[in-house]
Structure 1
C-alpha cells in the first residue's frame, strides 16, 4: 500500500499536530497484518526487548483491567513496568504509561520522529504508530516488565510481532466479526495467535473454544485454565484462589472484575512465584482503571463503564443487580445514559440490560461511526415488542448529545437512584470531559 504524501510535522509541532498527521497518512483505520509494522520495528531494533519480560493480554473483554491489576501487583513487588493499552479516554498519553505515569507529549514526539525516519516508504496505521511508539519508549526506559494489551484479535494485531514471555486470554466472545469471524471458534483461533511455543498462557474464559486448545497443543504452549489448573471463589468479604499446589483462602477483594484478578494471580504464581501474597493483595486493592465501573458520585450513585458488546453488558447487568441488592430498602431507579457505535451489536447489548434499567436516556455520538439516538430507540422498541413478559412500557428519552441527556437526568435524579453511563469509550469520554 502506498503512503499518502502529506507533509511531515516540523520540529516545532505539538502532539496534536502529530496525531492529526498520523491519522491522515494511512487510508484506513484498520489494516490487519504484521509485515509492515514488523519491518519498521526491525529497523528501529525494537523486536527484541530483553532483558524485559513481555506479557501480552488478549480477550474480548477485560484486557484493560487485567493489565492494570498486573501492573499494580508488579509495582508493589518493586518491579519497573510499562503498559501499552488502547483506546484512550481523554488524552492520547494514556496509551503508554511507565511505572503508572502517562508518558509526556515530548516523549511521544521524539518516538514519532524516530519512527517517521525509519519507516521511509512503509505505510503505517494510527494503531501501528502507537504500538511502535510504546515499544520505543519502553526500550529506552530499560524496564523489568512490559505489558502489551492487544488492540484487535491477536494473531494479526501489531502487538503480536513481539514474542512474549507469557500471555493471558481473558475472555472469548463475538465482537469485531468483520475481522475476527462470526463464530467463537474463529474468534478463539485469532486470539490464540498470541500464544508462543513452549510458553504458558493463562486462560480466563471458562467455555474455551476447541480452536484455542488445538492451536496451543500444536505449538506446545501450556494452557493454565480457569476451572482446571486454577480456581477462584467469591466470599462475603474476600475471595480465594487455588491450584493443585497452593491455596490462598482469604484474599482482598479488588474493585475491578474478580475474574480478571484471578488471571493475574495465576500468572504471577507461574512467572513470579517469589511475589508475596501481601504484595498481591495490595496491588489488586489499589488497581483502578477509568471507565471500568468507575464511581464518580456516591449519592446518587453515578457509574461509568465502557461496556459496548453483549459479553460486557452481561457483566454490567450483574454488577448493577448487585448494587441494587446492597441497597435493598431503597426505592431508587436505575437510569441509563447510553450512546453506541452503529457497527456494534446494539440489540445484543440492550437485551442483556433491558430488565435492569428503569429509564433509558439515549444519545447521538458525534463521530462517523456513531449511532443516532433514534436508531438506538428503534432497537430498544423492537426488543420490547418481542418480549411477552414486559409489564410496563419502556421509559425512553432521546437526546442530541451527552450534555443534554445529563442535564435532563440531573434535574430529576434522586439520592437513591443509580446512574450508569455506558455504551462506548466515546460516551464515557464525553461525560468525563464535562465533569
Structure 2
C-alpha cells in the first residue's frame, strides 16, 4: 500500500512492485494524462525509439539544444546510479520532493486503474515538464513504440535509430514485427527521421498509411566518416570537417538531423565546439588507463557488433579480458558470436537482479576453454584487474546493471 508521505526510495520500491501487465491499454493512460492536464504540451517534442543508440541520440540532442540557449526537458531510461537521472530539466536533476509530488498527483487521480512502473514514471515526467516553460521535450521510448507509455504524446518529430532483434517476447521475433512496433510512434503529416539503412517493409507501409514524412539516412541526409573528421550533409546545410565524437557518429548525426528538420536555429560554432566533448556514462567509456578499462552498457548483438568495431579501431597489442554480467532474456549467444574472435578471456557472473542469467546458464552458454564463472561482478572484475598487464584491455559490458554494479566498487 502506497503512503503519500513515503520517501522517494520507498515510493520507487513500491512502484517496482506494481502490476506486471501482459496487455497494454494506452487509452486508460491517456485518460489519466488528460485528467492531469499533461496530454497536450506546448513544447516542441521529439520521441526517440530504436534498438540501440536511443540514449546517446537523446543526450546529444539535449546538449546541442541547451548550448544553443533553449529550455529543454529530457526523459530517458534506464538509469545507471540514481532514479533522478531519468528526468532532467535544462540538464539538471530535480529534487526528490519534486518527484514525490508528481507521484502523489498520479496516485490521487488514477483511482483504480492499474499502472506499470514505466507508465507511472512516464506520467510523472510529463507532470514535471509541465511546470517549466520548455522549448523542447525529448522522450526516449522505453520498449518498442506503439504501446509504450511515451506514445500517448503526439510528437512533432519522431526518430528511429535502428532496427535490431531484441525484446522478442514483446516486439516479435523478426525485424518486420519489431519495425511495426517501433513505427507506432509515427504521426500523420509529421516527420520521422530514420537512422536505419535497411528499412523493413512494415515501416514503409505504416508511414504510407499514416501519411508520415520519412527522412531516411543516405537518401535525405548523410554523414561520412574520415580518419580525423566527419561530414554531415542535409538538404538545408552542409557541415564539413566536423570533429570526431566520443559517442557513435550515427547518434550525433541523428541529433543534428532532428534539429535541422525541426526548423529551429542552431549555431555552427556551437556544434563544432560541443561535438568532441559530449560523453554519456557507460557508452564505451574509459574509466582507467593503467590497466586500460572500458565500460559499455551493450546488451544485444547489434550493440556487441558496435563494440567489436570499436575494439578493431583500438589496435590492441595485448589481451582482452571481458567482464560480463547479463540478463537471461537477452540473446547471449548472439552477443558472444559478435565478440568471440576478439575476447581472450571471459570473466562472467550473475547480476544482482531477479532477471539475471544464473551461473549454470552462463556456464552452458559461454565458451568452455577461456571462461571463468564468478559469484558476482566484484569478484570477476577484481580478478581481471590484478591479472591484466599494461598492454591489456579490460572490457566490462552486458547490461546497465553490470555497469551500475561496477561503479559501486572501489577501484
What TM-score results when the alignment is normalised by the length of structure 1? Answer: 0.91
Does structure 1 conserve the Cα–Cα contact (< 8 Å) formed by 2:15 and 2:117? yes
Report Cα offsets for 1:317-365 as digits up to 9, x if no partner: 1111112x2x5xxx31111000111111000000001011111001111
For residue 141 of structure 1, give the secondary structure of its aligned residue in structure 2: coil
Report Cα offsets for 1:219-256 as digits up to 9, x if no partner: 21111111110111111111001134532121121111
Equivalent-residue separation in structure 2 for 1:259 and 1:137 (angstroms):
30
| CA spacing shift, 1:367–1:421, aligned 2, 3 Å | same
| CA spacing shift, 1:338–1:292, aligned 2, 3 Å | same
Equivalent positions of 1:213-292 (< 5 A) are 213-292=204-283
**Cα offset, 1:283, TM superposition:** 3.4
Equivalent positions of 1:38-53 (< 5 A) are 38-50=30-42, 52-53=43-44
| CA spacing shift, 1:113–1:420, aligned 2, 3 Å | same
Equivalent-residue separation in structure 2 for 1:187 and 1:334 (angstroms):
33
Equivalent positions of 1:351-390 (< 5 A) are 351-381=337-367
What TM-score results when the alignment is normalised by the length of structure 2? Answer: 0.97
Equivalent positions of 1:90-105 (< 5 A) are 90-105=81-96
For residue 231 of structure 1, give the secondary structure of its aligned residue in structure 2: strand
- The reply to whether residue 308 of structure 1 matches residue 294 of structure 2 is no
Q: CA RMSD in A?
A: 1.4
Equivalent-residue separation in structure 1 for 2:141 and 2:113 (angstroms):
22
Does structure 2 conserve the Cα–Cα contact (< 8 Å) formed by 1:69 and 1:283? no
Does structure 1 conserve the Cα–Cα contact (< 8 Å) formed by 2:19 and 2:114? no
For residue 249 of structure 1, give the secondary structure of its aligned residue in structure 2: strand
**Aligned pairs, how many?**
410
- The reply to whether residue 134 of structure 1 matches residue 134 of structure 2 is no
**Cα offset, 1:402, TM superposition:** 0.7
**Aligned match of 2:193 in 180, 199, 202?**
202
**Aligned match of 1:32 in 24, 28, 31?**
24
Partner of 1:390: none
**Cα offset, 1:282, TM superposition:** 3.0
Equivalent-residue separation in structure 1 for 2:38 and 2:14 (angstroms):
23
For residue 366 of structure 2, give the secondary structure of its aligned residue in structure 1: helix
Equivalent-residue separation in structure 2 for 1:244 and 1:14 (angstroms):
50
Equivalent-residue separation in structure 1 for 2:60 and 2:22 (angstroms):
28
Partner of 1:3: none
Partner of 1:416: 391
For residue 131 of structure 2, give the secondary structure of its aligned residue in structure 1: helix
Partner of 1:322: 313
**Aligned match of 1:9 in 3, 6, 13?**
3
Does structure 1 conserve the Cα–Cα contact (< 8 Å) formed by 2:141 and 2:150? yes
Equivalent-residue separation in structure 1 for 2:262 and 2:273 (angstroms):
18
Does structure 1 conserve the Cα–Cα contact (< 8 Å) formed by 2:223 and 2:231? yes
Equivalent-residue separation in structure 2 for 1:203 and 1:10 (angstroms):
42
Partner of 1:154: 145
Partner of 2:333: 347
Equivalent-residue separation in structure 1 for 2:33 and 2:277 (angstroms):
34
For residue 232 of structure 2, give the secondary structure of its aligned residue in structure 1: strand
Does structure 1 conserve the Cα–Cα contact (< 8 Å) formed by 2:347 and 2:374? yes
**Cα offset, 1:124, TM superposition:** 0.8
Equivalent-residue separation in structure 2 for 1:400 and 1:96 (angstroms):
33
**Cα offset, 1:310, TM superposition:** 0.5
Report Cα offsets for 1:370-408 as digits up to 9, x if no partner: 002332232123xx7xxxxxxxxx421110001111121
Does structure 1 conserve the Cα–Cα contact (< 8 Å) formed by 2:194 and 2:215? yes
Equivalent positions of 1:393-404 (< 5 A) are 394-404=369-379
**Cα offset, 1:154, TM superposition:** 0.3
**Aligned match of 1:20 in 13, 18, 43?**
13
Structure 1 range deviating more: 369-378 or 150-159: 369-378
Partner of 2:72: 81
Partner of 1:388: none
Equivalent-residue separation in structure 1 for 2:66 and 2:202 (angstroms):
35
For residue 16 of structure 2, give the secondary structure of its aligned residue in structure 1: helix
